Structure 1
Amino acid sequence: MGGTVDGTVVPWGVVDLRGMGGAGFVVAYPADAVVVVSGLPGAGKSTLLRRWGGGAVRAVDPRGVHEACEAVMPGWLPYAVYRPWARVEHFRLLRGSVRRGGPLLVHDCGSRAWMRRWLAREAGRRGRELHLVLLDVGADAALDGQRARGRHASARVFARHRRGLGRLLAAFAVGGSMPTPEAVSVLLLDGVSRSRAEAVRFVAGLSGGLERRA
């Protein structure tokens, strides 16, 4: 599902662009959409968010919260000790950003269904749509991405995210009903199509997926 006009992709339902080469394109969402970019650690979520955000669109990345907490903690204190505080701060930032209104990009691993449901509820209370971008680049490419950026998720954390995303991708492969009913659309990208997704545009008056389903 979804539409493409003059190099602009307008997602609703499931839009699978994996394995599709070609020219670059722009992804368009309603002006107040909450767009969650998901994938394995090292899949390129932060890179895509930087490309799409460019400082003009609010983006929430847990790495920023991690670094802010790290900056005020003693250097000898392991991150594991204050991780719960960092997570609470991340949720506070997310909730505040959703309530503030306007377009929002969110960095999330995507393996936690409860997180998507919570975001969908927060957005829905304010009449906003939740959209998902899922990066399916494979475990080897994600590990290469971690090495390139010099940051590594532990083997345990990586394996947990891999299992969760694997189940989600398998559900999309089966077809039938939408495996993520909390999201208006899911845009599936691999390494090739991810590089083609040059920008995101939030368009006032754009007909949303909920209207298309009516």
Structure 2
Amino acid sequence: MTHLSPAATPATLKEPALSRLLFADPRLAPLWLILRVYVGYEWLSAGWGKISNPAGVWVGEKAGVAVSGFLNGAIAKSSGDKPEVAGWYAWFVENVALPNAVVFSYMVAYGELLVGIALILGLFTGIAAFFGGFLNANFLLAGTLSSNPLLFILATWLVLGWRVAGWWGLDRWILPRFGVSERPGALPAEPTSQRRQGDAVR
């Protein structure tokens, strides 16, 4: 069997100490917990408000009514001397989202709820934050500011700190099952068998 020589081994980039401290050091887990729970609560409240809406304009008999109004507003903002919505996004809204308003209504309502629950529990924090940021980006592209810029920034930070953002949460026990080190920033030890084979080749 042919083995790769040390010179053929792919190079790895060393992570700066500041980056490890901010995004992979469990000592900062309390800070990440505050950010994570705050963002999670905002999404949970928004999603639950839509799902429990008594008029059923998001989820229920009248599903799609609220999101249709929102999407039509986005299309209206794409015209004029200073449009707030880009033409390509207005095309997407008019030709894809609006004809499927009921589907998008359920996706938004339950998407917000699931993102909020996952962030509060610290479950697959990086993935949950990514989808939360994706929702924020779509709201921003549709011309809606509100709290979306702040939540988008915080979601980006949570994605960057995914290794430790859920340290005080379920990720602490779940991520190691997917090969993530229990000590963020530490490189996995090289198996003994591979070291012996490498020594034999040299």
State the TM bucket, normalised to the shorter chain.
under 0.3
| Structure with larger Rg | 2
TM-score, length basis structure 1: 0.24
Which gives a bigger RCO, structure 1 or 2 (Cα 8 Å, sep 6+)?
Answer: 1
Please identify which structure carries the higher helix content: 2
Please identify which structure carries the higher strand content: 1
